[in-house]
Structure 1
């Protein structure tokens, strides 16, 4: 269970960073439009990518032992930079979530937009295939358990984001809410990066 929860919490921390994909799901959730469709697209996409990372990265690491340390420190560097970007956004962002005054979206357009935001985003591959894959490889035969925890975290997060969004509407109408969230994300990214370096 410790390995499962390691995968769960790491994956959850990575996914919670507010990017284009999460903001889109959040907006759809606040508008209560095609929420289940959005949640399924994100959850299934992440499950496929995490499974790919957990299975393929382990094979590559066995054939190229030097790849694991490179990806570990590369992942830590990425997380440190990502944390800096989150902290910068926390200091400068003035965004408030505005979902009023828009016509109801067509489900096909929603699906196409979300698929593009998911599969054409390079950060998705860095997070799921490379970063989670490299960390899962360190667990050896238990990497599947780690991957299962990561997949469960992704599905849990998107269900909470999509269907719980209506509860957050008053909060995210306040511009400082995004800054607080970005600061928390930055701190989480830095904590994970330090953990990767120290455990290397």
Structure 2
């Protein structure tokens, strides 16, 4: 029973941290709606979280706390990438031609999607705060059961990304209208730009 409660505690905290509007979730949703390389995107996002959660549980968070320069490098690189992605999303939302090419044109190569999702997953210092530092610290407080807590948090990430990517198909009837895509891309642009500004103005 203790193990089960620990797993559930990890699952609950993991979901509470990941189920929020962010760059990664916005990208997964968009790929799910397009039905394009969904498995790849979900796998990368989930694998990233699982890796960082277990790294934090193993004590890597202590290393990051002692090497703030690493976080700073990630912060600036992440801000630059998010700003660039915000511009692309805004262009799709403002220009119907760009929108059509971005949603109804040829499929985007898997390599390009992989590069984008890797950047969104690894160039966001808040990911390290949530997984390595926060979840890792809470896991450590469970003593011998810390790996069960980490397992619960990892299951939370896997479940969420899978539901978001695969479940997006149920929203496709709504996004059959070009206006809906423009609204989505406008929202993505705002989220990406806001996160980029926050990373620059409010150091992690």
- TM-score normalised to the size of structure 1? 0.64
Aligned to 2:125, which of 122, 128, 137? Answer: 122
2: CA distance between counterparts of 1:57 and 1:36? 28
Residue 49 (structure 2) aligns with: 46
Could you tell me which runs of 5 or more consecutive residues in structure 2 were left unpaired when the two chains were aligned: 66-92, 94-98, 192-204
2: CA distance between counterparts of 1:19 and 1:51? 22
2: CA distance between counterparts of 1:21 and 1:137? 26
Residue 31 (structure 2) aligns with: 28
Residue 75 (structure 1) aligns with: none
- Check whether the contact 1:21–1:114 (CA below 8 A) recurs between aligned residues: yes
1: CA distance between counterparts of 2:16 and 2:106? 33
Aligned to 2:17, which of 11, 14, 17? Answer: 14
Please state how far the C-alpha of 1:170 moved relative to its aligned partner.
5.5
1: CA distance between counterparts of 2:58 and 2:174? 40
| 1:137 is the counterpart of 2:134 | no
Residue 185 (structure 1) aligns with: none
2: CA distance between counterparts of 1:17 and 1:169? 21
Q: 1:166 to 1:136 in 2, by over 3 A?
A: same
1: CA distance between counterparts of 2:119 and 2:162? 20
- Check whether the contact 1:57–1:137 (CA below 8 A) recurs between aligned residues: no
Could you tell me which runs of 5 or more consecutive residues in structure 1 were left unpaired when the two chains were aligned: 61-66, 68-95, 183-200
Per-residue CA deviations over 1:71-127 (Å, capped at 9, x if unaligned) read xxxxxxxxxxxxxxxxxxxxxxxxx9x874454211000000000011110010011
Please state how far the C-alpha of 1:16 moved relative to its aligned partner.
1.1
| SS across alignment from 2:58 | helix
- TM-score normalised to the size of structure 2? 0.63
Residue 160 (structure 1) aligns with: 163
- Runs of 4+ deviating beyond 2 Å: 98-103, 168-176
